[in-house]
């Protein structure tokens, strides 16, 4: 007999980049109206969370001021919160943006620098509610793909994430508010990324929900020899592998397809 849902399925986080130059969809949602329309579409397609980003993290991207990031992100965050019943996440590494986003009701701060920026730990610790995603990156977005090197990629990233979790706990952030992310594509070669996926249980067994972002990334382009617009099937294959290895949140540009593969994979995993 088909067993009913015991544990909730992993969540799908839809990417909403409000930047002129983001990886894979740069410029598409740069106006508030276009961003909002796309947020509604992702909600209809079954997204659980929308991750709003006002500064591109792709290699070589230009950095922007906190004010510019706020001007891009805040109107979209506030409108989504007013119009849609789903969770919101703000992808930022700046304390000022974090503080405003938290005041504006963001549910998650998604920080690719794992709260190492000036004032960002305090900004998150000052809230008693917001969740934080601590992601691993080697280097910084601008230069991260210049010869990434590890002696032991899995254990070095595990140690980094555990150290950042400890810093958060000591700052008073409850363990229930912490998500971790090995940071696929952030200062990693294709081989590093593939090994991280193979060994994902090392992270999912740490006791913190694991978020992964694999959607349309260059590792897929390199393995399959596909342009960014042709990476859906590769992204979905990785989403299936991530869910079957225990990931709890899948960050994606392709919400409808990802929702289906996440639900299908989860249904199989639920069977006893």
Residues at the interface with ligand 9MG (CB under 6 A): 53, 57, 91, 110, 112, 133, 135, 181, 183-184, 211, 213, 251
Closer to ligand 9MG by Cβ: residue 184 or 203:
184
Radius of gyration of the chain (CA): 17
Q: Which is nearer to ligand 9MG, 20 or 267 (CB)?
A: 20
To ligand 9MG, the closest distance from the beta carbon of 13 in angstroms equals: 8
Give the length of the chain: 272
Question: Is residue 87 annotated as a catalytic residue, yes or no?
Answer: no
Widest pairwise Cα distance in the chain: 56
Q: Which of 58, 217, 231, 248 is the catalytic position?
A: 217
Cβ 38 to ligand 9MG, closest distance in Å? Answer: 16
Least distance in angstroms from the C-beta of 209 to ligand 9MG: 12
User: Nearer Cβ to ligand 9MG, position 9 or 179?
Assistant: 179
Are 183 and 136 in contact by the 8 Å Cβ rule? The answer is yes
State the nearest-atom distance from the C-beta of 61 to ligand 9MG, in Å: 11
Q: Judge whether 217 counts as a catalytic residue.
A: yes
Asked if residues 56 and 27 have their Cβ atoms less than 8 Å apart, the reply is no
Considering the complex, state which of residue 249 and residue 261 has its C-beta at the smaller distance from ligand 9MG: 249
74/17 Cα distance (integer angstroms): 12
- Toward ligand 9MG, which CB reaches closer, 194 or 270? 194
Closest approach, Cβ 271 to ligand 9MG, in A, equals 29
Residues annotated as part of the active site: 217, 251
């Amino acid at each position: 007999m088909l067993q009913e849902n015991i544990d909730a399925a992993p969540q799908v986080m839809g990417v909403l980049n409000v930047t002129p130059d983001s990886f894979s969809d740069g410029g598409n949602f740069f106006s508030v109206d276009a961003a909002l329309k796309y947020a509604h579409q992702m909600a209809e397609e079954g997204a659980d969370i929308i991750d709003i980003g006002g500064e591109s993290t792709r290699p070589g991207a230009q950095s922007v001021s906190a004010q510019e990031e706020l001007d891009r992100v805040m109107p979209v965050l506030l409108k989504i919160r007013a119009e849609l019943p789903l969770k919101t996440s703000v992808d930022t590494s700046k304390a000022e943006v974090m503080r405003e986003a938290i005041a504006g009701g963001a549910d998650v701060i998604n920080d690719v620098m794992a709260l190492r920026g000036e004032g960002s730990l305090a900004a998150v610790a000052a809230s008693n509610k917001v969740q934080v995603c601590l992601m691993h990156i080697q280097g910084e977005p601008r230069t991260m793909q210049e010869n990434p090197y590890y002696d032991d990629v899995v254990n070095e990233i595990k140690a980094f994430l555990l150290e950042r979790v400890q810093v958060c706990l000591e700052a008073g952030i409850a363990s229930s508010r912490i998500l971790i992310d090995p940071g696929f594509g952030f200062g990693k070669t294709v081989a590093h990324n593939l090994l991280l996926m193979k060994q994902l249980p090392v992270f999912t067994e740490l006791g913190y929900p694991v978020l992964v972002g694999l959607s349309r990334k260059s590792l897929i382009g390199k393995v399959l020899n596909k342009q960014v617009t042709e990476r859906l099937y590769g992204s979905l294959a990785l989403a299936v592998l991530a869910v079957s290895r225990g990931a709890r949140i899948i960050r994606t540009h392709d919400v409808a397809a990802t929702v289906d593969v996440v639900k299908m994979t989860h249904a199989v995993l639920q069977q006893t």
